Amino acid sequence: MEQQQVRIGMIGYKFMGKAHSHAYRDLPMFFPNTAVPVMKAICGRNEEGVRQAARQFGWEEAVVDWRELVERDDIDVVDINAPSDAHHAIALAAARAGKHLFCEKPLALTLADSREMLQAAESAGVKHMVGFNYRFAPAVQLAKKLVEEGRLGRIFHFRAWFLQDWIVDPEFPLVWRLQKEIAGSGAHGDLGAHLIDLAHFLVGDMTEVVGMSDTFIKERPLPSSMTGLSAKGSSDGPRGEVTVDDATLFLARFASGALGSFEATRFASGHRCTNSFEINGSKGSVKFDFERMNELQVYFTDDAADVQGFRRVLATDPAHAYADAWWPPGHTIGYEHTFIHEVVELMDAIREDRQPVPNFRDGVKCQQVLEAVELSVAEKRWVNVNEL
């Protein structure tokens, strides 16, 4: 039987653009039983830059106008990797044109915009996926399985922290991630969004939150160039105001009765990308740290007393999600594989005519918690998530 082909049009060609391009390229080699992504066209504003990216990443064509791209008859999926302020307009236009949607997180700048995106996708009857890639690490999938099968018992605590340090230097330029009108929020929407999604995935809905937040460095030099998490700028040049949080912390109560604590910061010196969580239950606990993403620390209360303790499980055996497609046990995988697994889910969903998971509903749910925390910070009080 001939394999289904899914034609992709992608917007944005830098950090996430490269990660998604790589996923499309690698997928058919390791996951031959799903639909095949066809890398039709990549879009960016700089003609020369996007042409170079198309050549380097393996796209058939480079284009500069996303409005034309989303209308094309030879595109099935619009993959949105532009900064967050662009997601809403692109998703609405692409849904109207009947395209499936794959959008990076956070879904939009506001809860209202993200709800409109979900509504547009549902009215158009298209598939919609949001880029919470950390769900797709096999060790995280193992944590999910242990919770779902009741092997950790009743869950008491979800404790999560996402720590980076790339803007500790006050002379680091004012990149788009530090501007509210482009990014929506700072560490909160960038890093905290991943923690919130992992909490939803692993423990379920939250009912109420209370948060605190700060911006440690209020002004920075304007950048002369930027991409992803890097930028150039001069200390002698003009400066601009930082309009997002540098760090946001919050507490949460889950519908299940579990308690949650969350910390997202770009000021944790020495932490490059420490995306971690712990879950403590009546029968055991798990601990995950993205910098050791192949491992899950697992503890069971019913182990014999003389060998009790956390054990290191390497999630690379055939017993683990996605591991069969890769290398022999113990041969580890990396960051880029989370995106490949994410795209496998998108291709499977299109082939099986179902919604992928996580989808825009998960994106909206995340945005609701993000905004509930912001409201809590502004009004210095507990906020019920359903107020929003």
Ligand X SMILES: NC(=O)c1ccc[n+]([C@@H]2O[C@H](COP(=O)([O-])OP(=O)(O)OC[C@H]3O[C@@H](n4cnc5c(N)ncnc54)[C@H](O)[C@@H]3O)[C@@H](O)[C@H]2O)c1
Asked if residue 276 binds ligand X (CB under 6 A), the reply is no
By CB under 6 A, is residue 221 in contact with ligand X? no
Contacts (CB under 6 A) with ligand X, residues 122-181:
131, 133
Integer Cα distance of 188 and 265 in angstroms:
8
Minimum CB distance to ligand X, residue 78 (Å): 12
Residue nearest to ligand X (CB): 14
Query: What is the distance between the alpha carbons of residues 103 and 210, in angstroms, rounded to a whole number?
Result: 28
Is residue 45 within the footprint of ligand X (CB under 6 A)? yes
Confirm if 194 and 260 have CB atoms less than 8 A apart. Answer: no
Of 76, 79, 104, 263, the one binding ligand X (CB under 6 A) is: 104
**CA triplet 101, 191, 155: central angle to 5 degrees?**
95
- Choose which of 6, 8, 9, 13 interacts with ligand X (CB under 6 A): 13
Distance CA 206, CA 144 (A): 17
Residue 59, both tokens: 């796209």
Q: How far apart are CA 79 and CA 91, in angstroms?
A: 9
Applying CB under 6 A, among 82, 187, 199, 264 the residue interacting with ligand X is: 82
Would you count residue 16 as binding ligand X (CB under 6 A)?
Answer: yes
- Residues 327-366: x where in contact with ligand X by CB under 6 A, - otherwise, as a string: ----------------------------------------
**Binder to ligand X among 228, 310, 345, 361 (CB under 6 A)?**
228
Question: Could you say whether residue 40 binds ligand X (CB under 6 A)?
Answer: no
Considering the complex, state which of residue 83 and residue 221 has its C-beta at the smaller distance from ligand X.
83
Count the neighbouring beta carbons within 10 Å of the beta carbon of residue 148: 10
Burial class (CB in 10 A: 0-12, 13-18, 19+), 315: buried
Helix axes 193-202, 138-148, angle to 10 degrees: 40
Give the nearer residue to ligand X in terms of CB position, either 258 or 366. Answer: 366
> What is the per-residue DSSP string for 206-272?
EEEEEEEEE-S--EEEPEEEEETTEEEE-TTS-EEE--S-SEEEEEEEETTS-EEEEEEES--TT-S
Number of residues that bind ligand X (CB under 6 A): 23
Q: By CB under 6 A, tell whether 186 contacts ligand X.
A: no
Q: Which stretch binds ligand X (CB under 6 A): 23-31, 81-89, 149-157, 292-300?
A: 81-89
Among 21, 84, 141, 285, binds ligand X (CB under 6 A): 84
Is 173 strand, coil or helix?
A: coil
Nearer to ligand X, 204 or 228 (CB): 228
With binding defined as CB under 6 A, does residue 66 bind ligand X? yes
Q: Determine if 86 is a binding residue for ligand X (CB under 6 A).
A: yes
Binding site for ligand X (CB under 6 A): 11-17, 43-45, 66, 81-84, 86, 104-105, 131, 133, 190, 227-228
